């Protein structure tokens, strides 16, 4: 009993000490203080109060603020991104935050998460609330939400997040869409890119096309979240965004994709360094994404069925990729005598291939081979040649992990058309009928 009382008192004293301590910290509370922190991507946590912390993570191009909340129901910490630290630009409280603004944002997020955990909603239901609920459902279903979250954090929440859903108007959405298309976008750290200059008119037109295409993608994310809120009864009408009230930019998607021919593929493979070469071959034989190849294990190859399981990196359900004979022989050699739990493709330093580790070796190999291609272009190469060789679009879609043929038709449908045209011209029936102007029609 004495030990229980002692434990309780000790815990209360500890929590009181944490609550009483000032949140101002000399190590992260100013640009000057943070300038001495190494860019090692390590998160340095500071307690705001019991169960709530603000973290600072610094990379080569500056730092970011994060918040960590303790959920007593799950007995785990939830991690949320706050925004960019004001290391290199002035804080605006929207994308760039000072130390004090980061603390305030963490407290706001903590209150919102606590209300959500208890099944209650605090204040008016906003666009930001709708997007949070949408992404929470995706996470609960094990579906990928990373790209959608990033687009929301960069383009939706700062401009529309505080608007009450019932007050959202078509005019505001159209203005937002146009402004987004004119904005140069953000880099990987979430910092605004400078507006580029162009030497050729066609370069400027291509830039405008890409910005409008990007704006359309963000609009699709927003509408998905808003439609879900409407179906859940969070707002009485969807008239602000339904139908053609807020239309995406037309004719901006570029269906043509870059891919290598057979000779270029062989040159690229031969130019790859050992270890990376096998990863490239895996991409060529499966069309799998880089992340899926990195997550693949030796045991994912099934020799009896002639397939390899893929699709473990984006939260999607793993799917079989059926291999041709050359692909089967490659995986048979590559997995012979190995432990099924080993990574299928091993990185020389980190065991598994991790985020962005393919960029440099791919760039070197492409330069040596004299080809202009990215690693993701190997997926396009696989799909393009499969379609041109007559593999049905549905089969290609299933091997790529798509649930239907829409994406395949969009990117590779023109190749199928050319395949059908060339096949008919080469193999279609001929009748040996010569043209004769003297022939009179039979009546």
- Cβ-proximal residues to 93 (8 Å cutoff; 6+ apart), any chain: 101
**Residue 320 and residue 115: Cα distance in Å, rounded?**
41
Decide: 35 and 48 in contact? Cβ < 8 Å.
Answer: no
pLDDT the model gives residue 265: 96
Does residue 201 lie within any of the structural domains?
Answer: yes
Quick one: average pLDDT of 344-366?
93
Instruction: Looking at the structure, tell me whether residues 245 and 229 fall in a common domain.
Output: yes
Quick one: average pLDDT of 61-68?
87
Q: How confident is the model at residue 14 (pLDDT cuts 50, 70, 90)?
A: very low
pLDDT the model gives residue 418: 64
Instruction: Looking at the structure, tell me whether residues 329 and 228 fall in a common domain.
Output: no
**Any idea what the CATH number is for the domain that residue 131 is in?**
1.10.150
Instruction: Looking at the structure, tell me whether residues 376 and 275 fall in a common domain.
Output: yes
Quick one: average pLDDT of 391-420?
77
Structure confidence by residue, pLDDT tens digits, 286-330 = 999 999 999 999 999 999 999 999 976 655 578 999 999 999 999
Which secondary structure element, helix H or strand E, spans residue 364, and what is its range? Answer: helix 359-369
End residue of a domain, out of 118, 139, 159: 118
Give me 170's structure tokens: 């078509």
- Cβ-proximal residues to 292 (8 Å cutoff; 6+ apart), any chain: 310, 311, 312, 313, 314, 401
| Sign of the torsion angle spanned by Cα atoms 381, 387, 390, 391 | positive
Range of the domain at 136: 123-254
**Residue 64 and residue 81: Cα distance in Å, rounded?**
8
**Residue 158 and residue 220: Cα distance in Å, rounded?**
17
Structure confidence by residue, pLDDT tens digits, 23-49 = 445 478 888 888 888 888 888 888 888
Measured at the CA of 279, the angle between CA 275 and CA 281, to 5 degrees, comes to: 115
Instruction: Looking at the structure, tell me whether residues 275 and 400 fall in a common domain.
Output: yes
Q: How confident is the model at residue 88 (pLDDT cuts 50, 70, 90)?
A: confident
Global pTM reads 0.53
Quick one: average pLDDT of 366-391?
92
Does residue 111 lie within any of the structural domains?
Answer: yes
Does residue 392 lie within any of the structural domains?
Answer: yes
pLDDT the model gives residue 434: 63
pLDDT the model gives residue 49: 81
Instruction: Looking at the structure, tell me whether residues 274 and 394 fall in a common domain.
Output: yes
Instruction: Looking at the structure, tell me whether residues 289 and 319 fall in a common domain.
Output: yes
Total domains present in the chain: 3
Does residue 442 lie within any of the structural domains?
Answer: no
pLDDT the model gives residue 405: 75
Instruction: Looking at the structure, tell me whether residues 399 and 282 fall in a common domain.
Output: yes
């Amino acid at each position: 009993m004495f030990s229980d009382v002692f434990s309780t008192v000790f815990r209360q004293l500890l929590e009181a000490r944490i609550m009483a301590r000032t949140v101002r910290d000399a190590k992260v509370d100013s640009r000057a203080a943070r300038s001495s922190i190494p860019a090692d991507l390590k998160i340095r946590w500071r307690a705001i109060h019991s169960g709530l912390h603000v973290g600072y993570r610094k990379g080569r191009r500056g730092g970011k603020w994060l918040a960590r909340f303790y959920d007593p129901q799950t007995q785990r910490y939830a991690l949320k991104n706050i925004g960019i630290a004001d290391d290199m630009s002035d804080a605006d409280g929207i994308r760039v935050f000072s130390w004090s603004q980061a603390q305030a944002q963490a407290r706001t997020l903590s209150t919102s998460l606590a209300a959500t955990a208890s099944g209650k909603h605090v204040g008016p239901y906003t666009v930001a609330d709708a997007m949070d609920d949408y992404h929470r459902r995706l996470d609960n279903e094990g579906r990928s939400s990373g790209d959608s979250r990033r687009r929301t954090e960069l383009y939706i929440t700062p401009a529309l997040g505080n608007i009450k859903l019932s007050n959202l108007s078509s005019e505001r959405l159209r203005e937002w869409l146009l402004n987004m298309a004119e904005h140069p976008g953000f880099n990987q750290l979430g910092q605004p890119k400078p507006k580029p200059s162009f030497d050729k008119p066609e370069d400027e037109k291509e830039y405008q096309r890409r910005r409008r295409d990007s704006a359309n993608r963000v609009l699709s994310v927003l509408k998905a979240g808003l439609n879900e809120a409407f179906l859940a009864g969070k707002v009485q009408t969807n008239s602000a965004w339904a139908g053609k009230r807020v239309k995406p930019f037309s004719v901006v998607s570029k269906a043509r994709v870059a891919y290598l021919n057979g000779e270029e593929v062989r040159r690229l493979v031969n130019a790859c360094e050992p270890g990376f070469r096998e990863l490239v071959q895996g991409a060529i034989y499966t069309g799998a994404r880089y992340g899926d190849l990195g997550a693949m294990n030796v045991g994912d190859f099934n020799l009896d069925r002639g397939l390899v399981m893929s699709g473990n990196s984006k939260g999607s359900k793993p799917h079989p990729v059926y291999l041709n004979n050359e692909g089967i022989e490659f995986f048979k050699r590559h997995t012979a005598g190995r432990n099924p739990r080993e990574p299928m493709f091993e990185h020389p330093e980190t065991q598994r291939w991790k985020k962005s580790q393919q960029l440099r070796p791919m760039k070197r190999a492409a330069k040596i081979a004299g080809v202009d291609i990215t690693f993701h272009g190997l997926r396009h190469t696989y799909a393009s040649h499969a379609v041109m060789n007559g593999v049905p679009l549905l089969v290609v879609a299933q091997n790529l992990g798509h649930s239907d043929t829409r994406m395949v038709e969009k990117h590779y449908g023109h190749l199928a058309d050319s395949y059908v045209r060339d096949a008919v011209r080469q193999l279609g029936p001929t009748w040996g009928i010569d043209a004769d102007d003297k022939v009179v029609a039979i009546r």
